[in-house]
Amino acid sequence: MERSRIAVAGASGLIGSALVRSLAADGHEVVRLVRHGQHGPDEVCWDPEGQYVDAAGLVGCDAVVNLAGAGVGDRRWTDAYKKQIRDSRVLGTAALAEAVAALEEPPRVFVNGSAIGIYGDTGDRAVDEETPPGDGFLPSVCVEWEEAAAPAQEAGVRTVFVRTGLVVARQGGAWGRLFPLFRAGLGGRLGDGRQYWSYVALHDEVAAIRHLLETDGLSGPFNVTAPQPLTNREITEAMGRVLNRPTLFSVPAPVLRTVLGEMAGDVLGSQRVLPTRLLESGFTFAFPTAEDAIRAALT
């Protein structure tokens, strides 16, 4: 990809910040969408929930990447926080898609975040991009999230949806909470441990987004998960091996439901998701196994 001007929303998040570093290291001009007042030429003001974007800041952008959204696992799912989870994604995406569509010269590609939560609890059944959405809160949010990008699609902008799995990283996300526990010898399975976890190394997440940005002709949904999802029990064993720590503890499902409330369903639910379209597009994972991904997160 030639040196490009790329706008990134959610640039301060786990994935966004890693993506910005990667793009900048390769000489791309990165414009960050920020909620505070604009402080420099590399910032563009926006208000996702207020559906405002300073569209003038997007002029000349070759690509727009939207990774913004309130953290699903950041706090207990009260009605107010569930509304924030939905609005931060759906309203923000709609605002950006409309701003992109209104530009005299729109960007070549609009990459929008999404999540494997769209499939709901799939049990032992393997699913890919051909599988219809599941039922429940997260699937409904993901469906609306992707539908909100319609203005960009209708304007002829190549639009990609990155359905991300559980990102293996020390800096944040689910794994950011797991690492300290396992290092202290307190790690263990959650519930019965038979639920599938579809994970991806942070390095591969960023590489996949860049692949989708830079490969002409790719559009629609792409699952960004390692090729071989494992059960929570298998993930627990891999963490123990890599960190050389015991994994004797377990958290019973009733305790998780008491502590986490409705969000426990996301922890105990099973999602065996395959990255079919991503592999078919020619992408190669640098860290395809759980142990590879865990070790990569420690470097």
Specify whether the CB–CB gap between 289 and 228 falls below 8 A: yes
d(CA 218, CA 233): 35
**Domain span holding position 175:** 5-298
Query: Which pLDDT band, with edges at 50, 70 and 90, does 3 fall under?
Result: confident
Mean pLDDT of 60-86: 90
Question: pLDDT, tens digit, for every residue of 126-175?
Answer: 999 999 999 999 999 999 999 999 999 999 999 999 999 999 999 888 78
Nearest to 138 by CA among 161, 163, 159: 163
pTM for the full predicted model:
0.94
d(CA 123, CA 62): 40
The CB density around residue 280, as the number of other CB atoms within 10 Å, is 11
Residue 35 carries which side chain, given as an amino acid letter? R
Quick one: pLDDT at residue 257? Answer: 64
- What phi and psi values does residue 165 have, to the nearest 5 degrees? -90, -155
Mean pLDDT of 98-123: 96
Q: Given strand 29-34, what is the order of strands in its sheet?
A: 52-53, 43-47, 29-34, 5-9, 63-66, 109-115, 158-164, 220-224
Highest mean predicted confidence (pLDDT) among 21-30, 241-250, 265-274: 21-30
Whether 206 shows a pLDDT value over 70: the answer reads: yes
DSSP class of 192: T
d(CA 269, CA 109): 33
d(CA 92, CA 69): 8
Q: How many domains does the chain have?
A: 1
Consecutive H or E run containing 288: none
Quick one: pLDDT at residue 276? Answer: 98
**Cβ burial, residue 27 (10 Å; 0-12/13-18/19+):** exposed
Consecutive H or E run containing 293: helix 290-298
CATH number of the domain at 294, please: 3.40.50.720
DSSP class of 261: G
